[in-house]
């Protein structure tokens, strides 16, 4: 026990001595948290709309003004010819072109097909989907208005209508920052856990001080604990720091139990520290450690659902995610923070993290050799 205490003292002293690395570990990620949470949003506003109205009828004007009046669209341009409008799409100066063919109103009155064309810039899939959905809704509204007028005129059957009410739970403002902040916090914790601890170990290897340690009667497990605990603590501190800042700046609530959150964070950290440690035992240079950590981290993070939903991923990816600790942690963070989920709701994640954690730690302990 005493030995561990001394080892920890040494570790902390070394870490604090490294004047450049310590502030970087704290400030760089936190700055990124702030800036990037503000940047990451899929909200679509001020969609640039170009109209090509070849009908110039009352109906078409009704349609166009409905688009114009919508808060989502900005009617920027009116063109005479579709090809000119397509040019705008190529340049990127418009997001969507509405083409109203001539004879639209006449077709409607006669009861023939009346079609308008929507040309959408689909380079960004998500934006395109939303643009299309909003456009469809506007067209639907115009159709309802047309029908309502007809009904008044002809006194025929009542127009049936289904009212759809949307309720957004846990985030009624659809504030994208509330989605990104827990995600980016997970990334920060992961960086500390995997990168820093791994680098630390290999640095000692390169500097030769780990050789010196190996000659001492320090047992393997003591050495490993000594390496893991400081970063475990630092990781948790960073999480706390990050959460506080997120609360102050983004009003991010923590609807669930803080104890549960940090408990899971501790579990998660232990696991990925083990992974980081394992990687550094099989690498010989700092460069290799960096590369391997980077490789795993990027894959874990992107597959873990930080930016794009796991639900949209192909089935094989969703299956592989069961081996991805970041996937579990990301879910835990978002559910506890936004929904107040409790332990019973998160059993799956708990099991996953525990199994993976034990696996990584065992691999680390097994592969670390005092003599090489």
Partner 1 sequence: MLILFGIPITQLLIFGTVIKNEISDVPIAIYDESKDEVTAELINKVRSSGYFILDENLESINSIDQILKKGYIREIIVFENNFAQKLLKEGRANIQLIADASDPNLARLVTTYTTGIINDYVVKMNLNKGMPLQIQSEVRMFFNEEMKSSYQFVPGTMALILMLVSALMTSVSITREKETGTMEILLASPLHPFQIIAGKVFPYLLLSIINAFVIIFIGNLVFRVPIAGSFGLLLLETILFTTMALCLGIFISTVAKNQMVAMFISLIALMLPTIILSGFIFPIENMPKILQVLSYIMPARYFIEIIRSIMLKGIGIQYVWQETAVLGGMTLLLIAVSVKRFKIRLE
Distance CA(274)–CA(334), nearest Å, equals 24
4 binds partner 1 (CB under 8 A): no
Residue with smaller CB distance to partner 1, 270 or 346: 346
Q: Residue 3 Cβ, how far from partner 1 at the closest point, in Å? A: 28
Helix H or strand E segment including 72: none
Could you say which residues in the range 218-277 bind partner 1, by CB under 8 A? none
Q: Residue 220 Cβ, how far from partner 1 at the closest point, in Å? A: 25
179 binds partner 1 (CB under 8 A): yes
Cα–Cα–Cα angle for 17, 22, 26, rounded to 5 degrees? 160
166 binds partner 1 (CB under 8 A): yes
Q: 305: burial class by Cβ within 10 Å (0-12, 13-18, 19+)?
A: buried
71 binds partner 1 (CB under 8 A): no
**Which of 28, 39, 42 minimizes the C-alpha distance to 312?**
42
Please identify which residue in 8, 36, 240, 363 interacts with partner 1, judged by CB under 8 A. Answer: 36
Q: Residue 14 Cβ, how far from partner 1 at the closest point, in Å? A: 13
DSSP state of 50: E
Written as six digits, the tokens of 314 are: 């192909």
185 binds partner 1 (CB under 8 A): no
DSSP state of 95: S
Please identify which residue in 70, 74, 171, 222 interacts with partner 1, judged by CB under 8 A. Answer: 171
65 binds partner 1 (CB under 8 A): no
DSSP state of 155: -
Could you say which residues in the range 306-345 bind partner 1, by CB under 8 A? 307-309, 311-314, 317, 331, 334-335, 338-342, 345
Could you say which residues in the range 287-306 bind partner 1, by CB under 8 A? 287-288, 290-292, 294-295, 298-299, 302-303
Distance CA(223)–CA(221), nearest Å, equals 5
**Which of 206, 213, 221, 358 minimizes the C-alpha distance to 290?**
206
Residue with smaller CB distance to partner 1, 17 or 311: 311
Q: Residue 10 Cβ, how far from partner 1 at the closest point, in Å? A: 19
187 binds partner 1 (CB under 8 A): yes
Interface segment toward partner 1; rule CB under 8 A; list 26-34, 211-219, 222-230, 243-251: 26-34
- Interaction pattern, residues 83-102, with partner 1; x per rule: CB under 8 A: ---x--xxxx----------
User: Which residue is it, tokens 């980081």?
Assistant: 276
Residues 6+ apart with CB under 8 A from 292: 279, 283
Please identify which residue in 16, 56, 84, 159 interacts with partner 1, judged by CB under 8 A. Answer: 159
Distance CA(281)–CA(295), nearest Å, equals 16
**Which of 152, 157, 131, 165 minimizes the C-alpha distance to 49?**
131
Helix H or strand E segment including 96: strand 96-100
Residue with smaller CB distance to partner 1, 227 or 334: 334
CB atoms within 10 A of CB 114: 18
Binding residue count for partner 1, defined by CB under 8 A = 118
Could you say which residues in the range 100-129 bind partner 1, by CB under 8 A? 104, 107-108, 111-129
């Amino acid at each position: 026990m005493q030995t561990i205490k001394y080892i920890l003292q040494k570790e902390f002293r070394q870490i604090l001595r490294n004047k450049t690395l310590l502030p970087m570990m704290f400030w760089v990620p936190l700055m990124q948290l702030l800036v990037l949470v503000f940047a990451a949003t899929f909200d679509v506003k001020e969609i640039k709309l170009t109209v090509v109205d070849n009908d110039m009828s009352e109906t078409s004007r009704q349609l166009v003004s409905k688009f114009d009046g919508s808060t989502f669209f900005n009617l920027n341009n009116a063109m005479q010819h579709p090809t000119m409008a397509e040019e705008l799409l190529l340049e990127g100066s418009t997001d969507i072109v509405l083409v109203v063919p001539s004879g639209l109103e006449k077709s409607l009155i006669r009861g023939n097909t009346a079609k308008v064309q929507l040309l959408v810039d689909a380079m960004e899939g998500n934006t395109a989907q939303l643009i299309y959905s909003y456009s469809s809704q506007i067209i639907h509204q115009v159709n309802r208005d047309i029908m309502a007028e007809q009904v008044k005129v002809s006194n025929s059957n009542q127009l049936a209508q289904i009212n759809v009410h949307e309720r957004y739970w846990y985030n009624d403002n659809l504030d994208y920052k509330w989605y990104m902040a827990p995600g980016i916090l997970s990334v920060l914790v992961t960086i500390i856990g995997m990168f820093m601890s791994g680098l630390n170990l290999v640095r000692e290897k390169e500097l030769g001080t780990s050789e010196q340690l190996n000659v001492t009667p320090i047992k393997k497990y003591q050495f490993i604990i000594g390496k893991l605990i400081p970063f475990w603590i630092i990781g948790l501190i960073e999480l706390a720091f990050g959460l506080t800042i997120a609360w102050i700046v983004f009003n991010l609530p923590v609807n669930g139990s803080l104890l549960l959150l940090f408990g899971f964070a501790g579990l998660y950290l232990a696991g990925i520290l083990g992974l980081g440690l394992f990687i550094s035992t099989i690498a010989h240079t700092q460069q290799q450690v960096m590369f391997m950590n980077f490789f795993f981290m990027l894959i874990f993070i992107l597959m873990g659902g930080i930016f794009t939903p796991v639900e949209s991923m192909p089935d094989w990816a969703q299956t592989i995610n069961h081996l991805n600790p970041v996937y579990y942690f990301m879910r835990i963070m978002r559910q506890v923070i936004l929904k107040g989920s409790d332990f019973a709701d998160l059993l799956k994640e708990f099991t996953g993290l525990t199994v993976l954690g034990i696996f990584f730690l065992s691999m680390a302990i097994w592969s670390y050799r005092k003599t090489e």
